Structure 1
């Protein structure tokens, strides 16, 4: 990864040690860690569809690609940005997610236009405004299910500020700051650059996950039944 021509080993620019300042990493990433263990082992407590990861349920893109913060996934890392007089639209290749932010005349007007805290949509509630040549967005009220299944969790009390600045013909600088004392001991920031690609972004048709989920849940019931039969044959201790 290069930003302004400089090779980078990390997205994180603050704090200086390049580490996310988790208050309790194991607690904040509990479900992500569990999902990883279940993915590697093939075994999990699949009682109902809600036990499966967001990506398995085809709800949002890999839990992180759409933001906030927007992080690259294993594949399908293309984005399309559209700016109109009234809106800023971020369209993802991964899972064809879309984040739409109304653009206001000032930061004060934008922040005053956030939805009530009781409304917590997928990818959060995002508003935008211009600061010179930089388009700034602020996101709050991330969906609570998404909060628990992302590498950059943001609580209902947290805020993510993102800045988009064209710094060259072929480079769009993306900067972000996460301010959430529920999950972190301090605000932290990062940046990377978007570079243009050739061709258009095609639809990511995520339909196979619906069949996978049925198979996973059925497999869990069969495994439970096999364990019960084994226990019955063994008899009382």
Structure 2
């Protein structure tokens, strides 16, 4: 009887192990294909109040939920929310981490190099700056399209990077695979990276692109993607530096049927005093990734500039 129980236990162990393995493509590679959502309510950097604490306690979570609910209710009661705030994708925390950044251990970005540029447009009033604008969101004026941020000009999305960084909405990416390449398509602004897996050499350093040049390989069940040759017309990360010297290493690991662990490391000695790493869980989406038509039917830029001209005309006529 003891031998029979041992045999049954052994068979159960083997069966459970096999069923838990990462599914494979027809080429025998880990199957990462599908649409994945990287929205989360975990901040990129650890709030100072949590100091060296990497995880929230149950009491922290309860208090945070209470404050968040109260704040949202106050906005709703005051009618302060926009009519279409239901589009905002707040995400959820799959664990209790206090920051997406896992290195440095304090959960915060490394110090910025002296002399590295720092400019952040944001959603507030226009700021001082030079044309053409190289930050993602916001602007320096309304004299022409080049006064507006890169995302307003539909050149890059404000969460597509690379690397992917959770933001207000459209936090989706679709992955396609063949034997010798992987295609990574961000929903916004339908940015596509074709990542060769055949060991070919990187592009010549003189060939630069908005999303850089990517090369990939398999490290066990993890897809590793190294990207360089950024064009320097975007910031290195967040509001800091420029991207021209940045080396980005991304790691995609399927941890279960519904979860893809996405980890990235930014190594940019021209901007930061150290490299840093962040980990973002991606959740499987049972649906399609539809076109993000940033330009077609989008009259926002035209109306923004036309409105500025009308204000100037009224001011000149003394009718404002």
What TM-score results when the alignment is normalised by the length of structure 2?
0.60
Does the 8 Å CA contact 2:224/2:252 hold for their aligned counterparts?
Answer: yes
Does the 8 Å CA contact 1:163/1:175 hold for their aligned counterparts?
Answer: yes
CA drift at 1:154: 5.1
Cα distance between partner residues in 1 of 2:126 and 2:241: 20
Cα distance between partner residues in 2 of 1:170 and 1:43: 39
2:133 is aligned with 1:37: no
Cα distance between partner residues in 2 of 1:77 and 1:55: 15
CA drift at 1:136: 0.5
CA drift at 1:221: 3.4
* Aligned residue in 2 for 1:233: none
2:234 is aligned with 1:146: yes
CA drift at 1:22: 3.9
CA drift at 1:122: 1.9
Pick one of 170, 185, 191 that aligns with 1:97.
191
Cα distance between partner residues in 2 of 1:174 and 1:152: 22
* Aligned residue in 2 for 1:234: none
Cα distance between partner residues in 2 of 1:79 and 1:120: 23
Pick one of 252, 266, 269 that aligns with 1:178.
266
CA drift at 1:35: 4.4
* Aligned residue in 2 for 1:159: 247
CA drift at 1:29: 3.7
Pick one of 116, 140, 143 that aligns with 1:47.
143
What TM-score results when the alignment is normalised by the length of structure 1?
0.79
CA drift at 1:77: 1.2
2:109 is aligned with 1:17: no
Cα distance between partner residues in 1 of 2:143 and 2:206: 28
Does the 8 Å CA contact 1:56/1:209 hold for their aligned counterparts?
Answer: no
Greater share of residues in strand: 1
Query: Structure 1's 224 and 29: CA in aligned 2 closer, same or farther, altered over 3 A?
Result: farther
Larger Rg: 2
CA drift at 1:116: 2.0
Report which structure shows greater RCO (CA 8 Å, sep ≥6). Answer: 1
Cα distance between partner residues in 1 of 2:95 and 2:208: 37
Aligned length: 219
* Aligned residue in 2 for 1:73: 167
Cα distance between partner residues in 2 of 1:26 and 1:209: 41
Pick one of 158, 171, 176 that aligns with 1:82.
176
